[in-house]
Amino acid sequence: MFELPKLQFEYNALEPFIDQQTMKIHHDLHHGGYVTKLNTALEGNPEFQNKSVEELLQEIESLPESIRMAVRNNGGGHFNHSLFWNILSSEKSEPSSQLTSAIGTSFGSFALFQEQFTNTAATRFGSGWAWLVKKEDGTLEVLSTPNQDNPLMHKAGIPILALDVWEHAYYLKYQNRRPEYINAFWSIVNWKKVSELFGS
Ligand code: MN
């Protein structure tokens, strides 16, 4: 059985950038719903119940058709949100020197990386996610995915930074102003955690 992980901070910890009500609904009901539906999808398929969510997503194309879409949407939702909560923090932090250096190599500068990520998140049509991924050769790439897809399913690398741009992530506070939400996101990135995920 998959379980909804506890938030490592209070629902109001990210105010004013992400409001308490959004955090509570987003974590308890949206993320909680993905976990419940993932467990339901695997109920009749015990051979998949002991796998990690990462394993299930990496082999998504070879799962039985009867559960593939449910695992894609709800396993994706579970993994994506678990990562998202982990890379948010109210405490200011900086990328490690190794991550800073990799960002410089891959994008030219931190500002250019930020601009590309911001544009990618802003232009994702409909619901989806923006990602910073570490590729096999150690370089970094910004990309976006629709719905609850993620880079693991697309074999596009290891996600180390994630931004949820579904309307449920920001609508109560920002309504249709996704760019303001994206701008606020930069104030609450847990760079210590992102650096750890990068491997430094
Ligand atoms: Mn979400």
Q: What is the pLDDT of residues 122-165, one digit of tens each?
A: 999 999 999 999 999 999 999 999 999 999 999 999 999 999 99
Task: Tell how far the Cα of 26 is from the centroid of ligand 1, in angstroms.
Answer: 6
Task: Tell how far the Cα of 27 is from the centroid of ligand 1, in angstroms.
Answer: 8
Task: Tell how far the Cα of 157 is from the centroid of ligand 1, in angstroms.
Answer: 21
Report H helices in 43-190.
Answer: 53-58, 65-70, 76-86, 97-107, 110-123, 171-174, 178-185
Q: Pick the closest to residue 86 from 26, 140, 8 (CA basis).
A: 8
Which domains does the chain show, CATH number per domain? Answer: 20-86 (1.10.287.990), 97-198 (3.55.40.20)
Q: Please tell me whether residue 85 adopts helix, strand or coil conformation.
A: helix
* Residue segments in the chain with a per-residue pLDDT below the cut of 50: none
CA angle 111, 113, 116 (to 5 degrees): 110
Q: Pick the closest to residue 34 from 17, 14, 57, 13 (CA basis).
A: 57
User: Which class for 194: exposed (0-12), middle (13-18), buried (19 or more C-beta within 10 A)?
Assistant: buried
Task: Tell how far the Cα of 31 is from the centroid of ligand 1, in angstroms.
Answer: 7
Q: What is the pLDDT of residue 200?
A: 73
Q: What is the pLDDT of residue 165?
A: 98
